[in-house]
Structure 1
Amino acid sequence: MTDRRARTLAIVTLALVLTLVAVVVHRSGGDTENGAVPATSASPTPTVSPVPTDLTVIAPGRPGEVAATRAAHEVRDAGPAPHNSLDVWFVRMMIPHHAQALAMAELAGDRAAEPDVRALAERIRASQGPEMGMMRGWLQTRGLPAQAEGHDHGTMRGMQSPEAMRRLAATTGPDFDRLFVRMMTEHHEGAIEMATNLLTVGSDLTLNEFATSLATEQTVEIDRMREVLAR
């Protein structure tokens, strides 16, 4: 009899526990349906893995040297590419040189007679304007002022005198075309000489590539201008 009562009590206790569990589950489901998030469904806090400290970096050597392996924390930003004083001189001189070419090209819009001259002037504006921005940025990145103290930019090869610029501004039609082509050809020849000289003395790779591109493009433009004069 005692064993029977014990089994009955155990069954009743188990039934009560199951009932309570069912009630809790039901209420939790109802809260979820009403938009509430049960406490037991909260997402676990993500853990952040520590940054490994044993990373290595392969640092390439100079031409002919073997690459070296270094710890990551020993490698720093190398900063701007190395340059020398002649790189700086080239940029400081080429900025005002380009500025005069742009001033000449601006005049062609309402003075040139030949459409080819106007098209050439527009090409010069489209290329040399952004190039001036690039050169100014090159100096700024290196903390260098844009001006060269005590230098007369008018003495640079290809630079036109103030009198020549005034004469160009006062000319129109075919006379403007001839004068523009002559002045711009001289101007381009000066820029090509400056760029070619830099390729032998400069050390900055970016400027080396720029000087090569400048010399190539302006040589092509000189050939086009000569074709215009030959007509």
Structure 2
Amino acid sequence: MSLLLRSAREYAIALGNLPGPALEQAFLAGMIPHHAAAVAMARQELARGSRPELKAMAEHIISSQNKEISRITGWLHTWYGLTPELARTRVPHAVQQARAPMTTWMDTTTARLSTVPAGPRFDQAFMQAVIPHHETAAVASTAVPGHAVHDALNTLAQQIVAAQNAQVEQMRTWLHDWYPS
């Protein structure tokens, strides 16, 4: 297991140890920047990638994750009277510490991706960045079902797991087919 996935599992465990409202606030506060990083990477794919199939996936990532960011932001406001920034300040230190390696990895990976030349090489680098990014979101989201107070969040977390895992499998297939080792 990679260090990144181990970090995601530790984060999921830390989330799962929180009482329902605190879990919801911490998860929502963490998922907003996570989705924003995926959107940023997907925008780079649209600008610099070469594969129409991958560009279509990037468009889907941008659309679906921006909608989820809006929904999550609304839930924080409606359910808890919080902005995303205020919610982040309320995340317990242990949960912040568990999430820190993923945040560092996301920032570094997004910046590194911006240095890759446009074209097929960028497509490959994009998939190699988004696969572990999506895997961490799926792992973190497994902490929510059965622990969240709001059924809508339980449902969203299950949808995140399913959608991210499906995209990971598709990208693994494309990597294998387009860039055989």
Task: Assess same fold via TM > 0.5.
Answer: yes
Q: Could you say which residue in structure 2 is the equivalent of 1:230?
A: 176
Q: Could you say which residue in structure 2 is the equivalent of 1:170?
A: 115
Distance 1:118 1:133 in 2: 23
Q: Could you say which residue in structure 2 is the equivalent of 1:160?
A: 105
> In the alignment, is the contact (CA less than 8 A) between 2:76 and 2:83 conserved in 1?
yes
Trace 1:66-105 onto structure 2 (pairs within 5 A).
83-105=20-42
CA RMSD of aligned residues (A): 2.1
Which of the numbers 128, 148, 153 marks the counterpart of 1:207?
153
Distance 2:100 2:63 in 1: 26
Distance 1:197 1:186 in 2: 18
Distance 1:84 1:162 in 2: 28
Which of the numbers 176, 184, 193 marks the counterpart of 2:139?
193
Which structure's relative contact order is higher, taking Cα pairs within 8 Å and 6+ residues apart? 2
TM-score, with length taken from structure 2: 0.75
Corresponding residue pairs, total: 149
Q: Cα distance, 1:155 vs. partner? A: 1.8
Q: 1:112 to 1:153 in 2, by over 3 A?
A: farther
Q: 1:107 to 1:124 in 2, by over 3 A?
A: same
Distance 1:208 1:135 in 2: 12
Distance 1:164 1:194 in 2: 19
**Match for 1:117: what amino acid?**
L
Runs of 4+ in 1 over 4 A off after TM superposition: 150-154
> In the alignment, is the contact (CA less than 8 A) between 1:113 and 1:174 conserved in 2?
yes
Trace 1:17-96 onto structure 2 (pairs within 5 A).
83-96=20-33
Q: Could you say which residue in structure 2 is the equivalent of 1:119?
A: 56
Which of the numbers 79, 82, 86 marks the counterpart of 1:144?
82
- 1:183-210 per-residue CA deviation (whole Å, 9 max, x = no partner) reads 1011110100111111243222110011
> In the alignment, is the contact (CA less than 8 A) between 2:37 and 2:106 conserved in 1?
no
Distance 1:158 1:209 in 2: 24
Q: Cα distance, 1:211 vs. partner? A: 0.4
Q: 1:152 to 1:173 in 2, by over 3 A?
A: farther
Which moved further from structure 2: 97-106 or 195-204?
195-204
Q: Compare CA radii of gyration and give the structure with the larger one.
A: 1
Identify unmatched segments of 5+ residues in structure 2. 1-19
Q: Cα distance, 1:154 vs. partner? A: 6.7
> In the alignment, is the contact (CA less than 8 A) between 1:196 and 1:211 conserved in 2?
yes
> In the alignment, is the contact (CA less than 8 A) between 2:77 and 2:83 conserved in 1?
yes
SS of residue matched to 1:201: coil
**Match for 1:184: what amino acid?**
V
Structure (1/2) with the larger helix percentage: 2
Which moved further from structure 2: 208-217 or 153-162?
153-162
> In the alignment, is the contact (CA less than 8 A) between 2:106 and 2:133 conserved in 1?
no
